[in-house]
Structures are given as structure tokens and as C-alpha cells.
Chain A
Amino acid sequence: MSDFLKIEGLKAQIDADGTPKEILKGLDLTIPKGEVHAIMGPNGSGKSTLSYVLAGREDYEVTGGSAHFKGQDLLELEPEERAALGVFLAFQSPVELPGVNNANFLRTAVNAVRKARGEEELDAVSFLKLAREETSRLSMSGEMLKRAVNVGFSGGEKKRNEVLQMRLLKPSLAILDETDSGLDIDALRIVAEGVNSLRGPDFSSLVITHHQRLLEYIVPDRVHVMAHGRIIHSGGPEVATLLEKQGYKQFLEAAA
């Protein structure tokens, strides 16, 4: 199957103080297996909503269209089932979990996913070995495994923790929701390297970003321009460069 992720006519709304507000207005997007696609778009175009809807967040109501991943109806699945199927969302602002030890959290997540995928669960020792390898690869201090999840982490540490989770959970579709926001150039390189290290024939990614900068490190196969809840233009990596130079105006006008 070449269409790994296939989204057709997707419509979604959120409850805004009692009145439904439509955010995705018939979005079409296909990502073939093994490809990395980027979505760029102005604030409020619905980029984050798309990532939440794909990951299964309940406060968005899907009112039309479909989203299939590996041939399965993604919208029918619980968030944890989507994770088991291989969907991973790197959050724009990862929440803090006071009282939840990071190492325990990571091991619980890894084993939940392994179990659902029919793989053997990792015992504490082999998990810790794996986690230590991965943290040093991401230039993270081992101390971060002992702390509560994201509590007191700097912006960069939170993003690295997201990439750590991604590396450990081995997704086949990684959605990066503005993972570059608030990162300095070194952290950006490390995050990009984390994604690039997973690239291969069985790994696809949807990189949502405001800036072209991240796409210098994660070079996408396709770039989509999103506005008003739809994809209004798609092209090669050159679209990102064009956007950086000329802004969204020409695409918005062309789509209008």
C-alpha cells in the first residue's frame, strides 16, 4: 500500500463557549509510506487541530470526511490504539506530570505499545539500559529520567523528552507539532537528528512548522500550505523556501 496516511474531506469543530467552531473544513492529505511531509501555514489555519484530531484528542468533534492509516479507520480508534498502530504526536507544549516519574512513564508507555504490537515487554533493567543509550544520544542528562515527567524541564528539555519518547516508541507515523518552537539551534539540530535517524521505508512523518529553518535539517519530500482549515497548495521542498521569502500572501490569493 503506497497510501500510508490518507485524509479525505476532513472536517472538525471545537466547542467555543457553547457554539461549535469549524476549524478543519474539508482537508485532503495523503502521505505515502516512507515519506516526510511538511505542513506550513499561518496561525489559526488549523495545523495543531489536525495533529490533535489525528492523535485522537476528544475535545475536537469530527463532523465529516475520513482519515485512514495503514488501511484502518483512524477516527474510530482510541488514542492508545492509534499509538499502538504507530501514530506518534510530538506535542507543541508537552504537559507536566507532577508525581509521575519519567523513567516509569517511559517504560509504561513502551511496554503498553510493545504489548499491543505483540512484542515482548521489557524488564526494568533492559529498559533502563535502552533509555540511557537514547538519552545520551539526545545529549540529555540521565537525571531527566529520575525527575517527574517534564516538571521543571526547560523548553528545550521538554522537546528532547518528546523526541526521546518518539525514539523509544518507534512510530511509523510521527506528527511533529511545531517541535521547533522555542528551540535554539543546537537543540533544533538534536531534534532533527532524532527524526532523521528514524527515516526509512517504514517511517513517515508529518512536520508542522511555522518556519523553514527546521526544514533545512529535516528535508521534506513534500510541503503543503495550509490555510482556513484546508490544504491550499502542495509542492516540493522549494515551497518552503518560497514561503520564507514571499510569505503566504500569494498562496492565499491563489486559493481565494
Chain B
Amino acid sequence: MSENSAAAWQALTGRAGERAALLGAGGLPTRRVEAWHYTPLQSLNGIAWQEAPALDAATVKRRVEGLNLPEHDGLLVFANGRFCKELSHLPDCMDVQEYGDGSAVQPLLAGRFSAGLNAALRQPGARLHVPAGTDAGLIVMVSLTEGDGVSTHLHHSVTLDEGAQLTLLDVQLGTGQYLTNPQVDVHCADKAHLSHITQQAESHEAARLAIVGARVGERGNYDSFTLNQGGVLARQEVVTQLSGPFSNTNVNAIQLVDGARLNDLSSMIHHASPDCTSRQTVRSVLSENGQGVFQGKILVDRIAQKTDGYQMNQALLLSEKAQMNSKPELEIYADDVKCSHGATVGALDEDQLFYLRSRGVQEEQARDMLVQAFLLETVELVEHESLRDYLLKALPGHV
């Protein structure tokens, strides 16, 4: 068990102190652990991850100002796991509740390593609350991390009361060889609607183990979209539970992976009530030695009759060494359901490429146009128009 005594494990359990038990035993997950088979964490073993030190306020301000964010109604800034109050503001209709102890693993996320790690080393994040019937508009949350060999473990919660609405743009970026392990607990009460857009633009040397757990009440909607484009090894894990009838969740994503990096979108959509719908479109573009992972499970309980689930996972391989590992899973106990899923992996279409080039478009630009076209349909699933434009600008070859 030399992995157990690895520098990373020693440092993390040491920092967790009496909460170390939340990490489980056995060290960082290896390839032998099924959930981490395609995204093994051994590469993190050699680093004794330390708590990230506070960043200079002026630096943080400069970074945030350089972001070109869309017009928003509120802004929350975190730097190296610490809240930057002076750079943050929220609309009057919202309140930020006191951060409680909250060191337990949310039941929805029990047994998931990223959630255990977060619980063990948890740092207080945003605790957003939108009162009943209120539309809080667009809130941007920026999490900046800088440094080498440091880690952050922010824990956020977003609670929407009955009929409340919120669009949350969650921007993650940084420089250096760090580890981020954020968790977002979402609760959408009946008829509440949260659009949660995560722009993962971490440093290309960074590791990231992010996890979201969302519970959705009757006629509620948790609409999530992830743009996974940074990190040397980055998993975005989304667990949603449709706990009230006629609720809906979307778990869409785009992954853009180049270099020798790995991006992972793992999701669990749990239909725990009848008459619910779920939609999932994940498109990955992999170039150079990039690796993409998609693990998507749809679980339909016996009581969840009239479930309507759709899952589509498509990958574009732009080089011979790029790789996509895709694991769709349906587990259905109800007998009156409509669930479909599909997966495709392929290269750019040579006929399309030649067509564009024969019209004078340079090869590089022609490739970009086709890649962007592949991604466009997924970006169009984002409801918020100005966010669509914002995300399109983050894609390769945007005009």
C-alpha cells in the first residue's frame, strides 16, 4: 500500500485531522476503482498538497477585471479558497446565509470521493438563497486559484425557494499546478428554476475534482451546462435527483481537451419521482494527446413512471492519439418509461473539410468552423442569450 503513504495522502489526511475518516481509506482512487477507471488519480500522489495561501487583493482585482464577464446582477469572488468580500456584491433580493459547520457529506453524494475530500477539507464558500417567487437574475461566481502544490476545497450551497429563479455562471480559473475540489449543493424547491453554467478554465497544469449535488422539487428545474476546457486532469461530477413529480434536469456539457490533458464529465441523473424529464447532450473535442471521459448514468426508480430521459454523447477526435472513453449506463426499475441514449466518436468529415477548402477557406480555419459547428448546438441549449454569446467566445475559432 505504498500509495497510502504517498505524499498527497499524508498531507491531505494530516490537514483533515479528525475529519480524515471522511476521505475513506485506501488513498486516492486508482484505476481499480470503477468510478475512476478512466480518470485515475495516481498522478496527484507525489505532491504534498498544502492549503493555498491568501492572494494579494490587488492581483485578484486585476484578474477579475480582465475577465470580460457578461452583464450581471451580482458577483461573488473567491481567491485561493477565500471569499473576497470587497470585490463581491449581490442583488437586494438575495441573502448570503451564515456558513454553518456543515462538515458532513451530503447524503446525495455519499460514497463519492470528490465529496468526501471536500467534506474533509471543506472551506466556506457561497451560501446563496433566493426567496420564494423571486427572480434573482444572473449571478457570476469567480473562483481564482494561483500557486503550486496547493489545494482549495470550497463548499457552496444554492437554495431556491418555491418558484424562485436564478442563473449562476460559475467561472473557475487560475495559474499553476494546484488542485481544486469545489462542491456545490443545490436545492431547487417546487417550481424553482436554476440555470447553472460552469466555465471550467483552470490552469492546464491543475487538477480538479469538482462535484455538484442537486435536488429538484415538484415542477422544479435544474438546468446545468459545463464548459470543461482546462486542467491537466479535471472531473466535473454532476449528481441530480428529481425528487418531485414533473421536475426536469438538463446535464449538458462541452469538453475541449488538447495537449496531454484529461477532462471528465461524470453524471448521475436519478429519477426518483414520476413524470420527470431529463436531457443530456455532451460533446467533446479532443486534439493532440487529449483524453475525454464521459460517464453518464440514468437511474429510474420503480415509482418513477412516465420518465422521459434522453442522453447523447458525441466526440470529435482531431488527432490519431486523442482518446475518448465513454460509459453510458441506464438502470431502470419502472416499466412505463421513455429513455434513449446514444454515443458517437469520429474524426472531422473529410468531405466537409474539402468543401470548405475548395471555397478558399484555409485548412486551419475550416477545421475551426467545423469544430465550432459541432459545438454550437450544445451551446444553444443554454437558455440565457448573453451567456450563449459569452460561451461562444470561449470556443476555438470564434469569429
Binding site for B on A (CB under 8 A): 55-59, 78-80, 82-84, 88-89, 91, 94-95, 97-100, 104-105, 108-109, 112-113, 116, 148, 165, 169
Contact = CB atoms under 8 A, between A and B. Distances in A.
Contacts of B352: 95, 97
B377 A109 contact: no
Given A80-B361, A108-B369, 6 more contacts: A95-B349, A108-B365, A109-B360, A109-B361, A113-B359, A113-B360
A82 B357 CA distance: 9
Contacts of A59: 350
B255 to A, nearest CB: 17
Interface string B356-385: 111111110110011011111100000000
Contacts of B361: 80, 108-109, 112
B333 interface: no
Nearest to B357: A79
6 contacts: A80-B363, A89-B358, A97-B370, A99-B373, A108-B365, A109-B360
B358 A55 contact: yes
A112 B369 contact: no
A12 B366 CA distance: 26
A110 to B, nearest CB: 8
Given A100-B369, A108-B365, A112-B365, A95 B355 contact: yes
A80 B350 contact: no
Given A95-B351, A95-B352, A112-B365, A79 B358 contact: yes
Contacts of A91: 355
Nearest 6 CB-CB pairings of A with B: A99-B373, A83-B360, A113-B360, A109-B359, A79-B357, A112-B360
B369 A78 contact: no
Contacts of B372: 99
B399 interface: yes
A79 B373 contact: no
A48 B227 CA distance: 43
Contacts of B369: 100, 105, 108
B396 to A, nearest CB: 14
Given A99-B374, A100-B373, A108-B369, A83 B355 contact: no
* Residue among B349, B352, B399 facing the most chain A CB atoms (10 A cut-off): B352
B99 interface: no
Given A57-B354, A58-B354, A104-B399, A83 B359 contact: yes
Given A59-B350, A78-B363, A97 B358 contact: no
A112 B356 CA distance: 11
Nearest to B355: A95
A94 B355 CA distance: 8
A108 B369 CA distance: 10
A220 B354 CA distance: 28
A94 B359 CA distance: 12
Contacts of B363: 78, 80
Contact of B360 (A58, A84, A98): A84
Contacts of A98: 373, 377
A99 B370 CA distance: 8
Given A95-B351, A99-B373, A100-B373, A83 B365 contact: no
A116 B374 contact: no
Contacts of A80: 357-358, 360-363, 366
A91 B372 CA distance: 24
For B352, B359, B376, the residue with the greatest tally of chain A CB atoms inside 10 Å of its CB is: B359
B271 to A, nearest CB: 30
Nearest to B378: A99
A80 B357 CA distance: 5
A55 B359 CA distance: 10
Nearest to B373: A99
Contacts of A104: 399
Nearest to A116: B360
A228 B372 CA distance: 42
A83 B358 contact: yes
Contacts of A82: 358
Contacts of A97: 352, 355-356, 370, 373
B377 A99 contact: yes
A89 B351 CA distance: 13
A197 B323 CA distance: 50
Contacts of B357: 56, 78-80, 83
B377 to A, nearest CB: 6
Nearest to B375: A99
Contact of B370 (A83, A100, A113, A165): A100
Nearest to A89: B358
Contacts of B370: 97, 100
A109 B369 CA distance: 11
